[in-house]
Structure 1
Amino acid sequence: MMPLAERGAALLGRRLVRAEPMSGGDLSSLVRIVLDDGSAAIVKDGPDPPAEAGMLRAIRAAGIPAPEVFAADLRTLVIEPLPAGGGNADADLGRVLARLHAVTGDDYGWNRDYAFGTVRIANHGSEDWPDFWAERRLLCHAPHLDAALRRRIEALAATLPERLPARPRPALLHGDLWSGNILTDGGRVSGLIDPACYHGHAEVDLAMLSLFGAPGPAFREAYGEAEPGMAERRAIYRLWPALVHLRLFGSGYRSMVEALLDATGC
């Protein structure tokens, strides 16, 4: 099988000069390539490169910094390298997310399903937000959980019409927003990467963003005021990534799932 770097160069119709391994995520391999014309690109594999390409294009179409997609096929995604020198960009991140979330869809969901590794993500549309979150983000995990967790998830799902707004504005979401998927350079956001986009309640991205370490107060000041009741909904929205992590990486995430369920009272 052609190595990842060579596949990327072939998709661009160029000759590979050099390949530099990069630290990637848990679910894909990543390499930086230099081509015979002196240009560079990032090449990655993953469960569904065409889906990721479509999401990156949607983010860029919203005027949000993200890598340009150079090429994609069923196994390989080739994207633009972005500066990532680091630095605190909390205020700019607030502005960037506010612009992203200002983009509105017709309903909740996305135009295709995709996956986190072996965990398939169903995204067929719904006009009822509590139903979407219950069916596509919580109950979909129930067959893969033990009886105790399954009962608690089912109990929570049954109460969502009383806990979540029926029809919040269907904002464009990054969908997997944590610090590792936010590139910064010189105090600004240079790009959002590794998206899992769909349209939904904007608070989903905000809940995920603070799951593994929250941005400072400059973020909230730039983003805008919290909706009433956000604190009560945070654990419900954080359950989605916690359940995905439990299925992908095992029992080390069970305590996180249980703590979030405790916070909901279920």
Structure 2
Amino acid sequence: MSRTAQIEGALGQRVARLVPLHGGDLSDVARADLEDGREVVVKTGPMVEMEARMLQAMRAANAPVPEVLHTEPGLILLQHLTETPPSPESYRALGAALAQLHGTEGNSYGWPEPYAFGPVEIRNTQDGHWPTFWAEHRLQPFLDVVPKETAERLETLCIRLPDLLPAQPRPALLHGDIWMGNALFSGAAAYLIDPSCYHGDPVVDLAMLNLFGQPPTEVMEGYGSLAAGLEARQPIYQLWPALVHLRLFGAGYHGLVTRLLGRAGV
């Protein structure tokens, strides 16, 4: 069955046209213009059903996300949101959206199922000890893809994590891949898109948000009070997305990895 036929079968309305949209490593994205005037976002790919479950969990936490209209194997249909240039108000809304998301907690660290960034597996096996989770499921999987000296420094950091990270921080619901490109601004609102959810230290999302440049001050104004220890934990948490980028895009990111190891004290 064609993608158009799947959409028409799900919504009971003919598709007038499909318009490609920018997407990521996990899925193909398009806008479907329906004959009744509605617009929906169409995402296809091997992991989109998991994305739909994450969006539904975020929506249950009252965080602003696109509504999931339909799911089936390899296809999800989402509410279409009109994108507008960001403003101070929408930047504050982004901070408030993250704070709202982080207000929901899990019973342990991790997520009920694994995920992936393209070919990079994301291990989400649930654990009750945060430093162990971060070492085993976020840093150690990359030991075989970095140079030997870097791997040794990474191993040293993993050994030290119980002294550097809290044993049991609040297991907040995390976006998991939050950067400015995964926020959709619409008027004065901001919506969280393209999640990679799991439960963990809320500082993880804030560190990711600061990895490739500092966000506008209004974002943190909207978020509110920051967790103690943000500066010390930030390079440890930024290492994971840096390692993902190294794996996906090559040696140009090795310098970022080594600088973050240095900032983490190894």
Normalised by the size of structure 2, how large is the TM-score? 0.93
Hey, what's the Cα distance between the residues in 1 that align with 2:224 and 2:35?
Answer: 46
Hey, what's the Cα distance between the residues in 2 that align with 1:142 and 1:73?
Answer: 36
Residue 15 of structure 1 and its aligned partner are, at CA, apart by 2.5
1:166-224 Cα offsets, whole Å, 9 max, x none, are: 000100000000001101122321x1100000000000000001112222223223322
* Secondary structure of residue in 2 paired with 1:33: strand
The residue that corresponds to 2:265 in the other structure is 265
Instruction: Quote the sequence identity (%).
Output: 46
Moved more, 161-170 or 219-228: 219-228
Moved more, 160-169 or 218-227: 218-227
Residue 234 of structure 1 and its aligned partner are, at CA, apart by 0.4
Whether the 8 Å CA contact 1:60–1:66 is kept in 2: the answer is: yes
Hey, what's the Cα distance between the residues in 2 that align with 1:45 and 1:155?
Answer: 40
* Secondary structure of residue in 1 paired with 2:139: helix
| 1:23 equivalent in alignment to 2:53 | no
Moved more, 138-147 or 173-182: 138-147
Whether the 8 Å CA contact 1:29–1:45 is kept in 2: the answer is: yes
Whether the 8 Å CA contact 1:115–1:121 is kept in 2: the answer is: yes
The residue that corresponds to 1:241 in the other structure is 241
Trace 1:157-172 onto structure 2 (pairs within 5 A). 157-172=158-173
Hey, what's the Cα distance between the residues in 2 that align with 1:251 and 1:73?
Answer: 37
Letter in 2 for 1:65: P
The residue that corresponds to 1:140 in the other structure is 141
| 1:123 equivalent in alignment to 2:124 | yes
Hey, what's the Cα distance between the residues in 1 that align with 2:67 and 2:81?
Answer: 9
Whether the 8 Å CA contact 2:32–2:42 is kept in 1: the answer is: yes
**Unpaired runs of at least 5, structure 1:** none
* Secondary structure of residue in 2 paired with 1:78: strand
Stretches (4+) displaced over 6 A: none
Cα gap change, 1:73 to 1:148, in 2 (>3 Å) = farther
The residue that corresponds to 2:216 in the other structure is 216
The residue that corresponds to 2:42 in the other structure is 43
Cα gap change, 1:146 to 1:7, in 2 (>3 Å) = farther
* Secondary structure of residue in 1 paired with 2:96: helix
1:74-106 Cα offsets, whole Å, 9 max, x none, are: 322211101211222222222111111010110
Question: How many residue pairs are counted as aligned between the two chains?
Answer: 264
**Unpaired runs of at least 5, structure 2:** none
The residue that corresponds to 2:251 in the other structure is 251
Letter in 1 for 2:38: S
Hey, what's the Cα distance between the residues in 1 that align with 2:219 and 2:37?
Answer: 38
Whether the 8 Å CA contact 1:46–1:117 is kept in 2: the answer is: no
Residue 43 of structure 1 and its aligned partner are, at CA, apart by 1.0
The residue that corresponds to 1:206 in the other structure is 206
Whether the 8 Å CA contact 1:86–1:187 is kept in 2: the answer is: no
Residue 122 of structure 1 and its aligned partner are, at CA, apart by 1.1
1:126-179 Cα offsets, whole Å, 9 max, x none, are: 110000000011001213333222212111111000000000010000000000
The residue that corresponds to 1:14 in the other structure is 13
* Secondary structure of residue in 1 paired with 2:184: strand
Whether the 8 Å CA contact 1:5–1:43 is kept in 2: the answer is: no
The residue that corresponds to 1:155 in the other structure is 156
Residue 59 of structure 1 and its aligned partner are, at CA, apart by 0.8
Cα gap change, 1:6 to 1:23, in 2 (>3 Å) = farther
Hey, what's the Cα distance between the residues in 2 that align with 1:47 and 1:153?
Answer: 31
Whether the 8 Å CA contact 1:182–1:192 is kept in 2: the answer is: yes
Hey, what's the Cα distance between the residues in 2 that align with 1:9 and 1:193?
Answer: 24
- The CA RMSD over aligned residues, in Å, is 1.7
The residue that corresponds to 1:186 in the other structure is 187
